[in-house]
Chains A and B, each alone.
Chain A
Amino acid sequence: MKIRFILNGETKVIDVEADRRVIDVIREDLGLTGTKEACGRGECGSCTILVDGSPKLSCLMLAAQLEGREIITIEGIKKDSDMHPIQEAFIKHGAVQCGFCTPGMVLVSFDLLKRNKKPSRDEIREAISGNLCRCTGYQKIVDAIEAAAKREL
């Protein structure tokens, strides 16, 4: 079936099979491999994307359900060719190790900072509670998000 949606500000019209998931379309059909698949069953948050502004898991969404929606992936948050301040803060604070959870972490932080300009550490923890990281121990990720909120990069 044909679906039309907006991906990172660009209108896309593509043909998809019913059983394709959003992550398959993003990674394979459209070649944006920033979005990662890890557990594939909604336990890790690696595949998080923003659908109409709110974080959702692209491994548990059918491509057909993208019709008419606006989605943002990790590739879509940079400004011009610069990194987004959250991404800079992640690098500066050592919040990236293997990097597999990073796209999801950055996108949920992006959503948090849009809703809440000055989140507390507890609010940050709540926001990233659906995203698992096996490397950093989370402290550095919380530091990075806190710094991005305060713009202390």
Chain B
Amino acid sequence: MRLPSFNYLEPITLTDALNLMEEYHGRAQPLAGGTELLPRMKLGLTHPTYLMSLKEIHELKGIKSNKNELYIGGMTSLREIFLSTLLQQKFLAISEAAGSVAAPPLRNMGTIAGNLCQDTRCFFYNQSYFWRRGLKPCFKAGGNVCYAVPGSKKCFSVYQGDLAPALIAFNAKVRIEKKGSSRIIPIEELFSGKGEKPIVIADDELLTQVIVPIPEGIYGSSYRKFRLRNALDYPLVSAAAFLAIDSEKKVKSVKVVLGAAGPAPVIVKEAEDILKGKKVEESAINEIAEAAYKRAQMVDNLGLPASYRKKMVRVFTKRAIENAFNSIK
């Protein structure tokens, strides 16, 4: 499959990149690893006039840390995040999430910023031009019908990123820059919750860094992913859990986040009320799994029926919490 034509830009510093973003008024599409954007371009789902490769900007690559925070450059490869010993020791869920993306060659190419900013997906949208030609455009394609839920008034496409749930479980933030200014927001605010335009980032902005606070005390984390094949597939359901306990094994804080359960990652807010101050017991885990089940919004637009995927929310929420607890050293 060939690519449609475009003009190629290749800045070598972040300043140059931000200048270009402003100069082209949002018509310069940033290209990170290309593993999601290029297939979308081949299907004709997006037609950028200018493609701006960020691969040569070395200041956006690498993992650093100080006493309080971990900094991951936006162009750091998923392979590097997966294999980092620091992440495997202190941020297991993030490493597991990076290691669960696609397959080794794709992890060599894909980046954390690209993974976070990936578009939502749907069986009725991520199809070839030929397939879509026979139908009126759906909400996601700028039209006003939905083929997944006929008669609905909004888009039900699903956010299937692996990294976001794990990063949200660790209360991570992202740095977003444009020419002359920079802002830091919690990752959950990156998502609009709308399938039509899921990522809230202006046309002249770049996601340049992920900042993860290093938790204090005793804690564990885990990311569990449900899919049909053990490689290559996007998650059909996923759950990330973070669990901190005190010296009496009572829960100090807990965060459970679902992936592929709606147009944005879903935070299971009930978890804190259910577990805080208590010991980790099966009944409490079941209660959180039930709350997660209720929060998951699924329709028949991915690889398996929605009813089945929704039931799997319970299973994978439990597994994530249990694994997080078992990973506490």
| A contacts, CB < 8 Å to B | 1, 17-19, 21, 24, 40-43, 45, 48, 54-57, 59-62, 64-65, 108, 126-127, 129-131
The interface residues of chain B lying within 8 Å CB-to-CB of A131 are 103
User: Separation in Å of the A15 CB from the closest CB of chain B?
Assistant: 13
The interface residues of chain A lying within 8 Å CB-to-CB of B108 are 54-56
> Considering the complex, which residues of chain B in the window 1-22 have a beta carbon less than 8 Å from any beta carbon of chain A?
1-8, 10
Contact A130 B106 (CB under 8 A): yes
Contacts A42-B102, A130-B231 given; indicate if A60 touches B34 (C-beta within 8 A): yes
> Considering the complex, which residues of chain B in the window 204-235 have a beta carbon less than 8 Å from any beta carbon of chain A?
230-232
B55 part of interface (Cβ distance < 8 Å): yes
Provide the bound-state CA to CA distance between A19 and B38, in Å.
Answer: 11
| Closest residue of B by beta carbon distance from A129 | B231
Contact B3 A19 (CB under 8 A): yes
Contact B104 A65 (CB under 8 A): no
Contact B5 A61 (CB under 8 A): no
Contact B106 A57 (CB under 8 A): yes
B109 part of interface (Cβ distance < 8 Å): yes
Contact B232 A43 (CB under 8 A): yes
> Considering the complex, which residues of chain B in the window 35-57 have a beta carbon less than 8 Å from any beta carbon of chain A?
35, 38-39, 42-43, 51, 53, 55
Provide the bound-state CA to CA distance between A131 and B261, in Å.
Answer: 28
The interface residues of chain A lying within 8 Å CB-to-CB of B10 are 64
Contact A127 B42 (CB under 8 A): no
Nearest 7 A-B pairs (CB), nearest first? A130-B103, A129-B231, A18-B8, A40-B1, A41-B39, A55-B105, A54-B108
Name B109's contact: one of A56, A64, A126 (CB within 8 Å): A56
Contact A127 B104 (CB under 8 A): yes
Provide the bound-state CA to CA distance between A71 and B55, in Å.
Answer: 16
User: Separation in Å of the A122 CB from the closest CB of chain B?
Assistant: 11
Contact A45 B6 (CB under 8 A): no
Contacts A48-B105, A108-B105, A129-B230 given; indicate if A41 touches B42 (C-beta within 8 A): yes
Contact A1 B230 (CB under 8 A): no
Other A-B pairs, 7, CB within 8 Å; known A18-B7, A45-B105, A129-B231:
A19-B4, A57-B109, A60-B34, A62-B34, A126-B104, A129-B232, A130-B103
The interface residues of chain B lying within 8 Å CB-to-CB of A1 are 8
User: Separation in Å of the B268 CB from the closest CB of chain A?
Assistant: 30
Contact A129 B39 (CB under 8 A): no
Contacts A21-B3, A54-B108 given; indicate if A60 touches B55 (C-beta within 8 A): no
| Closest residue of B by beta carbon distance from A112 | B104
User: Separation in Å of the B223 CB from the closest CB of chain A?
Assistant: 17
Contact B1 A19 (CB under 8 A): no
Name B8's contact: one of A24, A41, A48, A62 (CB within 8 Å): A62
Provide the bound-state CA to CA distance between A126 and B106, in Å.
Answer: 13
The interface residues of chain A lying within 8 Å CB-to-CB of B6 are 18-19
A-B CB contact pairs (8 Å), 8 listed? A19-B4, A41-B42, A42-B39, A54-B79, A60-B35, A64-B10, A130-B232, A131-B103
Contacts A42-B106, A65-B53 given; indicate if A60 touches B231 (C-beta within 8 A): no
Contact B8 A60 (CB under 8 A): no
Name B2's contact: one of A19, A61, A129 (CB within 8 Å): A19
| Closest residue of A by beta carbon distance from B7 | A18
Contact A129 B1 (CB under 8 A): no
User: Separation in Å of the B114 CB from the closest CB of chain A?
Assistant: 12
User: Separation in Å of the A104 CB from the closest CB of chain B?
Assistant: 8
Contact B105 A130 (CB under 8 A): yes
Name B55's contact: one of A41, A48, A65 (CB within 8 Å): A65
| Closest residue of B by beta carbon distance from A1 | B8
Provide the bound-state CA to CA distance between A84 and B3, in Å.
Answer: 34
Residue from A18, A42, A48 whose CB has the most chain B CB atoms within 10 Å: A42
Contact B105 A56 (CB under 8 A): yes
User: Separation in Å of the A56 CB from the closest CB of chain B?
Assistant: 5
Provide the bound-state CA to CA distance between A69 and B35, in Å.
Answer: 19
| Closest residue of B by beta carbon distance from A44 | B232
